[in-house]
Amino acid sequence: MSGKFITIEGTEGAGKSTNLSSIEKVLNDFDISYIVTREPGGTAVGEELRSVLLKNESINISGQTELLLMFASRMQHINDVIKPALKLNKWVICDRFTDASYAYQGYGRQLNLSFISSLENLVHPDLQPDLTLILDVPVNIAMGRVYNRGNLDRFEQEDVAFFNRVRAGYKEIAKNNIDRCREIDASKDLVEVQAEVMQIIRDFCKKQSNS
């Protein structure tokens, strides 16, 4: 079976990290070789850029700079981690990818979507996720979860209007990419959400096995 690229997306507090383990469990059941990685990050360079991007000190990073740093990290990540793993027929499970740039920098920061598209075409013209799970949760619920964690990073300190735009962006992405994206109501009980995530991954694995 060839390598597949699965991404998991959502706003802060949507439960991405929690549900990654559900994806891993299904892949283990199917005896599929995989790696788990994240953005920004995934490489030594990417993790350094992540620390800059998430740092909660009062530093002035413009929206354009933020976007370019995200794609710089992404290019290193693709070249050093994602493509080599796929070439070895491993599956790649990634916490966020380019959809996050559209949602956060495009819709959240209100940057030009065409500019983001041009960066996408430059950095990975021949690579797209095979499956994307978008965990959707109302902003008030999501931020309640975030505040309970404490130690907010630079993004988590944004206001409700910003996260409403990000959520709207993810909904637009899901609507425009119905073949690739599966939107999941992540406001439900965790057990229900995990069951839905696992069923989607099982169905995807079975489809790949039969193709």
Q: What is the mean pLDDT of each run of 10 residues along the chain (211 residues)?
A: 94 87 96 97 96 80 96 98 98 98 98 98 98 96 81 85 96 98 95 96 93 70
Task: Reduce the DSSP state of residue 185 to 3 states and report it.
Answer: strand
pLDDT at 12: 86
Q: Which of 83, 4, 99 is closest to 43 using CA atoms?
A: 83
- Phi/psi for 193 (5° steps) reads -65, -45
DSSP assignment, residue 30?
T
Residue type, 28: N
pLDDT at 205: 97
pLDDT at 56: 67
DSSP 98-132: HHHIIIIIIIIS---HHHHHHHHHHH-TT---SEE
Q: For position 139, which CATH number holds? A: 3.40.50.300
Q: Say if CB 74 and CB 123 are below 8 A apart.
A: yes
- The pTM of this model reads 0.95
Q: Say if CB 20 and CB 105 are below 8 A apart.
A: no
Angle ∠(43,186,169) on CA atoms, nearest 5: 65
Overall domain count for the chain = 1
Q: How many CB atoms lie within 10 A of CB 57?
A: 5
Range of the domain at 194: 5-210
Q: pLDDT tens, 58-103?
A: 678 999 999 999 999 999 999 999 999 999 999 999 999 999 999 9
pLDDT at 99: 98
pLDDT at 155: 86
pLDDT at 154: 85
- The rounded distance, in Å, linking the Cα atoms of 30 and 50 is 32
Residues forming beta bridges with residue 71, ordered by sequence position: none
β-bridge pairing 91-95 and 131-136: unpaired
pLDDT at 57: 66
- The rounded distance, in Å, linking the Cα atoms of 129 and 35 is 14
- Cα separation of the two ends of the chain: 9
Residue type, 210: N
